Amino acid sequence: MSEPQSTAGTHGPRPAYVELVLDAATKQYGSARSRFTAVDAVTATFTSDQTVGVVGESGSGKSTLAKMLVGFETPNGGRVTFNGESVAQVVKSRSGRMDFRRAVQFIGQDTTSSFDPRRRLDDSVLLPLRTLLGLSDGEARARMAETLDALRLPVALASRYPFEVSGGQRQRFAIARGLVVRPRILVCDEVVSALDVSVQGAILNLIKDYCEQHSAGLIFVSHGLPATGFVAQELLVMYHGRMVERGPSAQVFADPQHAYTRSLLNAYRGEPTLEPVGDDDLDPALTVAS
Ligand SMILES: Nc1ncnc2c1ncn2[C@@H]1O[C@H](COP(=O)(O)OP(=O)(O)OP(=O)(O)O)[C@@H](O)[C@H]1O
């Protein structure tokens, strides 16, 4: 895949290697009177060479962990760093923020609030291509069209406003907006939960392919264990705000070390597992063109 890289102004090149680190990172919510610890002193490294699934029950701190990694939440204790520098510091300046957004893209579960209701969807998808990558209008539109096609989104839908498409379509536009930037690490928070089951597998394939074709890292937050094991080479298990286990997905499935992981796996026993889909089985429309 060609990587147009304007070096003009603030449109810097894509970094080769990216490392996000949680260093005893803690996030507490509430007031001094009633504090609640959502993430409790988690130390973990995520790189552009790794695909990591973050799993755990509802309320275990998965989303909070992801939001700290991308600078949407600031830790009350410990640090979060991006290639050695504090994320909180990096995102303070415009150029630091742009470098960071070029390298790390977050796709969340709440697409209602993540799209500007006054912008048409194509404007929202094109915006990062112009501002972060400095692509011309033609280049940006071509890249958007390629990505929408891969996500089975008719390009005609892109001229609508966010409230004029279904929740599942809006979710796919959110995925498109993250993928078009071709980040070095993609952070996905429950991105397929709201989608129709028939579309979920295709989107998971697309995310997996993206990471393989672009040698990109993935942090995939989900309470769906089979889906997470399918897209991620490693699993990180959260329980009551703590990281209780991390290891290669196959190893965690075969030989879970923590009692909570065992109970999580037991809850899924008997459910259908997702097998990697071979190229021959893939709808050509679902691969990210390179
Ligand atoms: N902004 C907030 N203010 C107060 N409490 C919060 C806030 N965000 C999250 N929490 C609390 O922190 C805990 C962890 O929430 P988080 O969203 O990280 O969990 P999760 O594992 O992602 O859950 P789910 O799978 O349901 O999305 C929960 O108890 C939640 O209620």
Report the DSSP beta bridge partners of residue 189: 221
Mutation to probe ligand 1, out of 64, 228, 240 (largest number of atoms < 8 A from CB): 64
Determine whether the shortest distance from the Cβ of 62 to ligand 1 is under 6 A: yes
| pLDDT above 70: residue 8 | no
Contact 65, 22 (CB under 8 A): yes
**Ligand 1 pocket member 193 (CB < 6 A):** no
Using CA atoms, how far residue 116 sits from 97, 112, 120, 161, in Å, is 19, 9, 8, 9
- Which neighbouring-strand residues pair with 105? 186
The 10s digit of each residue's pLDDT in 141-156 is 999 999 998 888 999 9
Q: Is 39 in the pocket of ligand 1 (CB under 6 A)?
A: no
Query: Could you tell me the residue ranges of all domains in the chain?
Result: 19-111+183-286
pLDDT in the model for residue 5: 41
Which residue's CA is the closest to the ligand 1 atom numbered 1? Answer: 29
Residue 38 CA, ligand 1 centroid: distance in Å: 6
Q: Which has the higher per-residue pLDDT, 198 or 288?
A: 198
User: What pTM was estimated for this model as a whole?
Assistant: 0.87
- Bridge partners of 242, per DSSP, are 239
Residue 228 has pLDDT above 60, yes or no: yes
Instruction: Output the DSSP codes for 10-34.
Output: T-PPPPS--EEEEEEEEEEEE-SSS
Which stretch of 9-18, 38-47, 101-110, 160-169 has the lowest confidence by average pLDDT?
9-18
Tell me the pairing of strands 104-107 and 35-47.
unpaired
CATH of 19-111+183-286, one of 3.40.30.10, 3.40.50.300, 3.30.365.10, 3.60.21.10: 3.40.50.300
- 191 CB within 6 A, ligand 1: no
Terminal Cα-to-Cα distance of the chain (whole angstroms): 4
What sign results for the dihedral spanned by CA atoms 245, 248, 249, 250?
negative
Q: In this model, does residue 288 exceed pLDDT 80?
A: no
Res. 4: pLDDT tops 60: no
Q: Compute the distance from residue 35 Cα to the ligand 1 centre, in Å.
A: 13
The DSSP line for 83-110 is TTEEHHHHTTSHHHHHHHHHHEEEE-S-
* Amino acid identity for residue 91 in this structure: V
Cβ 152 vs Cβ 168: under 8 Å: no
pLDDT of amino acid 223: 84
| Lowest model confidence (mean pLDDT) among 71-85, 195-209, 266-280 | 266-280
Which pLDDT score, from 0 to 100, does residue 271 have? Answer: 57
Please tell me the distance between residue 88's alpha carbon and the centre of ligand 1 in angstroms: 20
Interface pTM, i.e. ipTM: 0.95
Q: Relative to the CA of 221, which ligand 1 atom is closest?
A: 22
- pLDDT value of residue 286: 36
Structure tokens at 134: 């400095």
Kindly state the percentage of the chain with pLDDT values over 70: 88
| 223 touches ligand 1 (CB under 6 Å) | yes
- Ligand 1 centre and the CA of 207: distance in Å? 25
CB 272 within 8 A of CB 230: no
How far, in Å, is the centroid of ligand 1 from the Cα of 11? 35
Which residue's alpha carbon is at the smallest distance from atom 24 of ligand 1? 58
pLDDT digits (tens, 9 = 90+) for 88-134: 999 999 999 999 999 999 999 877 788 999 999 999 999 999 999 99
61 alpha carbon – ligand 1 mean position (Å): 6
Mean pLDDT of 23-51: 94
Task: Kindly give the distance from the C-alpha atom of residue 65 to the centroid of ligand 1, in angstroms, as a whole number.
Answer: 10
Please work out, in degrees rounded to the nearest 5, the angle formed at the alpha carbon of residue 151 by the alpha carbons of 147 and 154.
Answer: 85
**CA torsion angle 93 79 53 151 (round to 10):** -10
Position 14 scores a pLDDT of 67
58 lines ligand 1 (CB under 6 A): yes
281-288, long-range: CB < 8 A, 24+ apart: 282/205, 283/202, 285/149, 285/150, 285/152, 286/150, 286/152, 286/202, 286/205, 286/206, 287/150, 287/205, 287/206, 287/209, 288/146, 288/147, 288/150, 288/179, 288/206, 288/209, 288/210, 288/213
